Structures are given as C-alpha cells and as structure tokens.
Structure 1
C-alpha cells in the first residue's frame, strides 16, 4: 500500500530514487517488461532526471538510443506513463502503425494536437496490448536493434 506522500515529497530534488524504489513506487507488472525491452531492443538504460514542472514536479526516466530520445517515463503509484513524440515527418507512417494498435492508442493519437514539434503522446501502460502499441510507436522514433 502506497503512503500519501507525493512523488516529489518522497524523492526531493536532492535525493534521486534507486531503480528498486522506482519499481516499488510504480508497482506495475508491465514496467519491468518495458524497461527490459528498451534495453534489449535499443541498448537504452534509464537516466533519472528531475523535472521542476509546475504540474507534476519530480523524477522521471529518460531513455535514449545514442543521442536520439526514445521516451520519457513518468511514474505514479500503480501507473507508468510513457511520453513518446511522433515527429511530423513520421505521421504518415504512424497512421499505418495505428491500424495495428488498440482503440485506446488510436484515440489518444487522434486526440493529441499536432504541432511543428510533432505529437507528444502520453501513453498509460495499462495492458500487454498497450505495451505492444508502445513498442510499435518507439519503432517510429528509431529502429530496434532486435525484433
């Protein structure tokens, strides 16, 4: 059972959480699988960064393949949210990928405004099917080394 402290209260800017603390806080059985996939397919290890964002300050995890950003992961008790950016140049390919995705992911994509910076999808990892959607969307950002 999680206590009532917020993420920022549990782990202030001067106290980065360990991976074990991150896993316990997320308490999501799909989270280790997503992390393992990012490592195996892209060689991407999580890098913790502190965000001072007024809406949701606290630690998040950035995953990169070389210098290319793949995803930023936000954790809440029982929830994992992956922010994946779809570049404008990748939107036509994304439309094809979406045909194989869940209704949730298709709706999220179409309800997320497009800008010159792309679409920033905040995908809640709530099922194995959505994990597969995340993998498909990540492949738009960078091709995995292993499939």
Structure 2
C-alpha cells in the first residue's frame, strides 16, 4: 500500500487496508455514540508516523486510530484525574489492555495507551476508556451501524 503513504488515503481505503470487523465496530460505535466524524490526518510522531484517523468531540481528542496491514492500534490518553476510574475498571479488562496500561509511562501526568485492537474484548475496553474521557449522553445511539 505504498501509494497510500504518498497521498492522503480516504477513510474507506483505510478500512479496506485493515480488513477487520473490529475496525468497523469501533469506528461505527464512536460515530454513533458521540456524533462525530473521522478525520484522516498525517502524523510525523516518531512513535507512529503516517496516516491515522482522529476522532474529536468539542475540540477534545477522543482517540486516534493507527491503521496497519490487517490490524490497527487505538491511542487513548488517560490523565491523572481519570486514572482512579480507569484503574477501577482494569480488573475487568482484557489482559493485553491491562498490560498496556501498566507499561505506559506517565508523560506530563498522562498515560498514552497504544492499544492493539485484536478482539471484541479489546474493543469493549477501548469503548469504556473513551466513556471515561467523554461520557456518552443517554438517548444517543450506541450500537454500531450494520455494515
């Protein structure tokens, strides 16, 4: 997919590259639950340079999704104020998410969680972390649209 690196891919092209129902589930959930649309942006970040998908609500970042070949990673930030609530949920999280949380060092009082989305359980955990950052308003549709 080197041509995607040379030019901005569309959201659809990114989804086709990933080829995962987990991508459709998480993106559909975020869009329905928060009423937001994805933004395809280029990052020069040394940790994960390249095209990514950002979701923002009211100027606040919800998460950034980093596509790979057949997989993707979700970046969710957990600040000091949210840490106690996140840590209270950790016991119910997938072991890989727990490990990611505890291995993520604090930077400016925030844990930057690079979560490899590999299963429905990890998608569930990412949704719960997002709800800590920005609660879903009651009455908002939270089911993923049928693909």
Q: Same fold judged by TM-score > 0.5?
A: yes
Query: 2:4 pairs with 11, 19, 24, which one?
Result: 11
Separation in 1, partners of 2:79, 2:29: 22
Query: Deviation above 3 Å: which 4+ runs of structure 1?
Result: 53-56
Shift of residue 55, structure 1, vs aligned partner: 5.2
Separation in 2, partners of 1:47, 1:100: 31
* Closer/same/farther in 2, CA of residues 99 and 126 from structure 1, 3 Å limit: same
Shift of residue 54, structure 1, vs aligned partner: 4.3
Any gaps of 5 or more consecutive residues in structure 2? 143-147
Separation in 1, partners of 2:112, 2:29: 21
Shift of residue 116, structure 1, vs aligned partner: 2.4
* Closer/same/farther in 2, CA of residues 136 and 57 from structure 1, 3 Å limit: same
Give the paired residue count: 139
Any gaps of 5 or more consecutive residues in structure 1? none
**TM-score, scaled to structure 2:** 0.87
1:132 corresponds in structure 2 to: 124
Instruction: Report the aligned-residue RMSD.
Output: 1.6
Query: 2:70 pairs with 71, 78, 87, which one?
Result: 78
Secondary structure in 2 matching 1:144:
coil
Shift of residue 115, structure 1, vs aligned partner: 2.9
Secondary structure in 1 matching 2:65:
strand
**TM-score, scaled to structure 1:** 0.87
Query: 2:30 pairs with 22, 28, 38, which one?
Result: 38
* Closer/same/farther in 2, CA of residues 110 and 56 from structure 1, 3 Å limit: closer
Shift of residue 39, structure 1, vs aligned partner: 0.7
Separation in 1, partners of 2:46, 2:107: 22
